[in-house]
Amino acid sequence: MAEAGTPSGPAPGAAVRAAEPATPDRPSYDVKLRADADGSHWAGRQTVSFRNASSRPLREVYIRLWGNGEDGCGTSGRPSPVRVSHVRGGTPGRPGVKCTALRIALPRPLARGERTAVSFDVALTVPARNNRFGREGAFRFLGNALPVLAVHDARGWHLDPYVSYGESFYTLASDFRVRLDHPSALKVPATGSTWTRPGGTGRTVTHSVAKRVRDFAWAAGPFRTATQTSPDGVRVKSYWSPNTPAAGVRLNRKDGVAAIDRFGREFGRYPYGEIDLVMTPGFAGGMEYPGLVILGTEEEGGATVHEIAHQWWYGVVGNDEYNSPWLDESFAQYANARYYRWDGFECSPDDSWPSATAALTNSMAYWSTHRGEYFQVVYGIGPCVLADLEHVLGAGTMARLIKKYAHDHWYGVSTTAGFKKAAQSMTHRDLGPFWRKHRIR
Ligand SMILES: [Zn+2]
């Protein structure tokens, strides 16, 4: 995410078993949805199969309904924006965590290595606000709208609350096969490789296949479109509302092509082949999804470079965005700052901490009650700390560290401990004082 106008979690409990693998893993989603006349409502069926990677029997799964984050359980006259019903393959409980989590008890425990599936009807109502799951004029954004599996690991089930100005999301790399049936007047950019086929009268079906992604997002509206292929072979598809400033669209498209190739060289080749830039003038800041970024776009462009950096930091290299937001946001900002040669960034030698309790590795639980510190620390100090690490290690060593770290966690999960260990392995100098000074805990 990028703030509008600007370019370690809870202490582990004693019972934490470091070797407990995250599960359910290798999820595979099959989704068929049909839109109403203007893309405000989508309804259909969703199936997700998954494997138990844990040594312990899996007795339940949780589905996260992040699209209910802003509205919660709704009211009798205005139900939740995301509704799930007719569950098969398990027994649903009552939605919890303000209707953002649904427990589904499995009919029998799933042994290690076994696969099973659950399926359900899903109904989505795009909320009437300009947001990642929201709308702007005739344009609909369906970010975090599709239900996704929660993760269970050594800390138990991750059932963290929604945070409106950051991300609480944590998912494992998944496969998606999605069929979106919509009026032909609507263009539908989506995660993954997409193609269209004629549907019923006046309708088009947008198909998408996405492999090893953490989420699936789409948008719908009478977008203008253009496609370019980057020198390194990535298809950059641009979608913008007609009232988006043309100069900003041009700049975003140029930055999009340049950034996807540059970061591909720095972190490892972009693996998905295609990325969509979705641009409107009123969207606040920017928001990242695998293969699709939403960019509030002014004459001066938008947060294209930052959001494209997220394709690696959160996307390819995942992390628990609730417990360790710095692992995606500070890394994306560091990549962004390097792209712009630190133009507009100022780093102070003492990090300028806003309080005694602020630390780079704090979780969204902390930032939820220290909102004023969040952007300053995670977006401002974070990239400066990584620049200081570059200074300590040397530019060449830092570049090798980042690329190797991405390679070693490709489609996996980054952790603060894992990054510290990787950095320490690159130097004989004890980095303990460095971590302490920069409040990396
Ligand atoms: Zn971001």
Model confidence at 114, pLDDT cuts 50, 70, 90, reads very high
pLDDT for residue 7 is more than 50: no
User: Up-side HSE of residue 149: CA atoms within 13 Å toward CB?
Assistant: 30
Per the model's pLDDT, the better-predicted residue between 270 and 75 turns out to be 270
Summarised one tens digit per residue, pLDDT across range 278-307 is 999 999 999 999 999 999 999 999 999 999
Q: Is residue 210 part of a domain?
A: yes
pLDDT tens track for 398-421: 999 999 999 999 999 999 999 999
Residues 392, 416 within the same domain: yes
Domain-located, residue 70: yes
Per the prediction, the chain carries an average pLDDT of: 95
Q: Is the pLDDT of residue 11 over 90?
A: no
Angle, vertex CA 416, rays to CA 387 and CA 353, nearest 5:
55
Reported residue count of the chain is 441
How far away, in angstroms, is 329 Cα from ligand 1 center?
5
Instruction: Answer yes or no: is pLDDT of 9 > 80.
Output: no
Q: Give 113 Cα–ligand 1 centroid separation in angstroms.
A: 35
Classify residue 9: in a domain, yes or no. Answer: no
User: What distance in angstroms lies between residue 97's CA and the mean position of ligand 1's atoms?
Assistant: 24
Which residue in this structure is represented by tokens 């780093």? 347
How far away, in angstroms, is 328 Cα from ligand 1 center?
A: 7
* pLDDT band at 18; cut points 50, 70, 90: low
423 located within any domain:
yes
Instruction: Indicate the pLDDT class of residue 76, thresholds 50, 70 and 90.
Output: confident
Query: With 90 as the cut, is the pLDDT of residue 161 above it?
Result: yes
Residue 286 CA, ligand 1 centroid: distance in Å: 7
Identify the pLDDT of residue 15. Answer: 43
pLDDT beyond 60 at 16: no
Where does a domain end: 311, 345, 364? 311
If you measure from the C-alpha of residue 174 to the centroid of ligand 1, how many angstroms do you get, rounded to a whole number?
A: 21
Cα of 336 from ligand 1 centre, angstroms = 10
Instruction: Say if residue 273 is in the same domain as residue 395.
Output: no
Residue 414 is which amino acid? S
Q: Which of 197, 215, 233 is the last residue of a domain?
A: 215
Q: How many A from CA of 214 to the centre of ligand 1?
A: 15
For the cut 50, the answer to whether the pLDDT of residue 84 exceeds it is: yes
Region class of 385: left (phi > 0), else alpha (psi between -120 and 50), else beta: alpha
CA of 114 to the centre of ligand 1 (A): 36
β 139-142/148-149 pair status: unpaired
For position 305, what pLDDT does the model report? 98
> 295 and 179 share a domain?
no
CATH number for the domain harbouring residue 119: 2.60.40.1730
Say if residue 200 is in the same domain as residue 69: yes
Give yes or no for a contact between 327 and 311, defined as CB atoms under 8 angstroms apart.
Answer: no
CA of 324 to the centre of ligand 1 (A): 13
Q: How far is the CA of 383 from the centre of ligand 1 (A)?
A: 12
| Gap from CA of 265 to ligand 1 centroid (Å) | 20
Tell me whether residue 20 is in a domain.
no
Q: What pLDDT is recorded for position 152?
A: 98
How remote is the CA of residue 295 from the centroid of ligand 1, in Å? Answer: 11
Separation of CA 415 from chain center: 16
Q: Is 119 a domain residue?
A: yes
Distance of alpha carbon 143 from alpha carbon 66, whole angstroms: 9
Residue 12 has pLDDT above 50, yes or no: no
Asked whether residue 112 falls in the same domain as residue 185, the answer is yes
Task: Tell me: do 186 and 302 sit in the same domain.
Answer: no
Q: How many angstroms does the Cα of residue 284 sit away from the middle of ligand 1?
A: 12
Share of the chain above pLDDT 90, in %: 93
Number of domains the chain contains: 3
Q: Is pLDDT at 10 greater than 90 in this prediction?
A: no
What are the tens digits of pLDDT across the range 374-393?
Answer: 999 999 999 999 999 999 99
Pairing of strands 193-198, 203-213: antiparallel
Give CA–CA dist 216/55, Å, rounded: 29
Mean pLDDT of 162-177: 97
Are the CB atoms for 214 and 143 separated by under 8 Å? no
What is the pLDDT confidence band of residue 4, given thresholds at 50, 70 and 90?
confident
Same domain (yes/no): 272, 417:
no
Q: Does 77 lie in the same domain as 177? A: yes
Mean pLDDT of 142-159: 97
One domain, residues 51 and 90: yes
- Using the mean position of ligand 1's atoms as its centre, give its distance from the Cα of residue 306 in Å: 6
The answer to whether position 230 is within a domain reads: yes
Report, as an integer, the average pLDDT of 14-36.
85
Residues 113 and 207 in one domain: yes
- Whether residues 62 and 171 share a domain: the answer is yes
**Domain CATH code at residue 301:** 3.30.2010.30
Which pLDDT band, with edges at 50, 70 and 90, does 23 fall under? very high
Asked if residue 301 and residue 418 are part of one domain, the reply reads: no
Ligand 1 centroid to Cα of residue 330, in Å, is 8
Asked if residue 25 belongs to a domain, the reply is no
* SS3 per residue for the chain: CECCCCCCCCCCCCCCCCCCCCECEEEEEEEEEEECCCCCEEEEEEEEEEECCCCCCEEEEEEECHHHCCCCCECCCCECCEEEEEEECCEECCCECCCCEEEEEEEEEECCCCEEEEEEEEEEECCCCCCCEEEECCEEEECCCCCEECCEECCEECCCCCCCCCCCCCCCCEEEEEEEEEECCCECCECCEEEEEECCCCEEEEEEEEEEECCCCEEEECCEEEEEECCCCCEEEEEECCCCCHHHHHHHHHHHHHHHHHHHHHHCCCCCCEEEEEEECCCCCEEEECCEEEEECECCECCHHHHHHCCCECCCEECCCCCCCHHHHHHHHHHHHHHCCCCCCCCCCCCCCCCCCCCCCCCHHHHHHCHHHHHHHHHHHHHHHHHHHHHHHCHHHHHHHHHHHHHHCCCCECCHHHHHHHHHCCCCCCCHHHHHHCCCC
Residue-wise pLDDT for 190-207, tens only, equals 999 999 999 999 999 999
pLDDT value of position 5: 58
Whole-number pLDDT of residue 3: 80
Residue numbers of the domain that contains 188: 31-215
Domain boundary among 311, 335, 358: 311
In angstroms, the CA 180 to CA 217 distance is 12
CA of 386 to the centre of ligand 1 (A): 16
Average pLDDT score over residue span 78-107: 97
Instruction: Output the CA–CA distances (angstroms, integers) from residue 375 to 269, 311, 368, in the order listed.
Output: 29, 20, 12
Over range 68-87, report the average pLDDT: 95
Give me the mean pLDDT over the 62-67 stretch.
98
